[in-house]
């Protein structure tokens, strides 16, 4: 079983279309993994049935029990992310700003603050139009930890491929060079870089190639819309 990862230095190069084309060519011998969890769109092409759905929990969020809070303000003083504003004579946690570090709960004199795990998205296992399987996910709006969700998608795709004796895993990675891309590249046998014949396309291709080179992975490049030159 071989794993092929398709990535691009920027969005809009045709990465997902090429991934879907490879999946169609591979038919029922390929497990598809859509690891572009921040802007998933493979489902638009592969017609998944969303047969299995699972919540994904990662990271923590501070919660203040307002009934026991004495409004001392120590939590707001130590929060380096300014995530506990004083609003309407009450200290509240800004969910988008909170990093879940837990420092506020440690300094609270009344043990009023607790950290809970966050539901940051969902992942799915679907049957698709090729007669095969696809593992895909959707990150919640404003949620972090997309790299961990990518790892969950890849691990599940690998499990399905091994148990079903599939020949390939085809991975649609995220654009750019951030954490989700690094997670997408983990364990790859071959990487396909997709770019376009533009100045920005070439610039971002160089960046993503440097990333692939650091991982010492075999790679090739597809210049989409090459006839624009």
pLDDT attached to residue 146: 80
Task: Confirm whether 158 is domain-assigned.
Answer: yes
DSSP letter, residue 30: E
Give the residue-averaged pLDDT of 172-183: 90
Residue 179 is predicted with a pLDDT of 87
Q: pLDDT, tens digit, for every residue of 134-154?
A: 999 998 877 776 888 999 999
Whether residue 108 is contained in a domain is answered as: yes
What's the CATH code of the domain at 215? 3.40.50.300
Same domain, 108 and 159: no
| Average pLDDT score over residue span 119-136 | 95
DSSP-based three-state secondary structure for 217: coil
Number of domains present in the structure of the chain: 2
Q: Is the confidence at residue 200, as pLDDT, over 80?
A: yes
Q: Are strands 219-223 and 190-195 parallel, antiparallel or unpaired?
A: parallel
Written in H, E and C, the secondary structure of 107-175 is: HCCCCCEEEEEEEEEEEEEEECCCCCEEEEEEECCCCCCHHHHHHHHHHHHHHHHHHCCCCEEEEEEEE
Would you state the pLDDT for residue 229? Answer: 62
Give the chain's mean pLDDT.
92
Q: pLDDT tens digit string along 36-62?
A: 988 888 999 999 999 999 999 988 899
pLDDT score at 11: 84
How far is 113 from 191, CA to CA, in rounded Å? 46
DSSP, collapsed to helix, strand or coil, labels residue 185 as: helix
97 and 149 part of one domain: no
Is residue 71, in this structure, part of any structural domain at all?
yes
Q: Is the domain of 142 the same as that of 35?
A: yes
Residues 42 and 77 in one domain: no
As given in the structure block, the two tokens for residue 147 are 């790299």
Taking 70 as the threshold, does the pLDDT of residue 110 lie above it?
yes
139 & 223 share domain: yes
| 7-26 average pLDDT score | 92
In which residue are the tokens 């071959």 written?
A: 190
Cα atoms in the Cβ-side hemisphere of radius 13 Å centred on 31: 26
Q: What is the pLDDT of residue 49?
A: 96
198 HSE (CA, 13 A, CB side): 13
Sign of the dihedral through C-alpha 45, 14, 188, 22: positive
State how far the Cα of 100 lies from the Cα of 52, in Å rounded to an integer: 29
The rounded distance, in Å, linking the Cα atoms of 17 and 28 is 18
Tell me the per-residue pLDDT of 56-108, one tens digit each, with 9 for 90 and over: 998 889 999 999 999 999 999 999 999 999 999 999 999 889 989 999 999 99
The residue segments making up the domain with residue 93 are 59-119
Residue 224 and residue 156 share a domain: yes
Kindly state the percentage of the chain with pLDDT values over 70: 99
Residue 52 falls within a domain, yes or no?
no
């Amino acid at each position: 079983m071989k794993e092929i990862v398709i990535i691009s230095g920027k969005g809009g190069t045709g990465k997902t279309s090429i991934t879907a084309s490879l999946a169609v060519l591979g038919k029922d011998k390929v497990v598809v993994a859509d690891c572009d969890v921040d802007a998933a769109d493979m489902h638009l092409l592969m017609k998944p049935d969303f047969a299995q759905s699972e919540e994904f929990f990662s990271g923590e969020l501070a919660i203040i029990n307002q009934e026991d809070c004495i409004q001392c303000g120590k939590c707001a003083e130590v929060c380096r992310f300014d995530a506990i504003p004083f609003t309407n004579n009450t200290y509240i946690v800004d969910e988008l700003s909170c990093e879940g570090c837990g420092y506020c709960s440690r300094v609270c004199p009344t043990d009023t603050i607790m950290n809970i795990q966050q539901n940051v998205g969902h992942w799915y296992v679907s049957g698709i139009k090729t007669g095969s399987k696809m593992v895909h996910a959707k990150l919640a709006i404003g949620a972090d930890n997309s790299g961990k969700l990518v790892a969950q998608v890849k691990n599940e795709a690998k499990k399905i491929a091994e148990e079903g004796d599939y020949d390939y895993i085809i991975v649609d990675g995220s654009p750019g060079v951030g954490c989700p891309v690094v997670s997408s590249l983990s364990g790859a046998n071959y990487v396909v870089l997709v770019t376009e014949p533009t100045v920005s396309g070439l610039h971002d291709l160089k960046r993503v190639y440097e990333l692939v080179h650091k991982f010492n992975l075999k790679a090739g490049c597809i210049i989409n819309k090459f006839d624009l030159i």
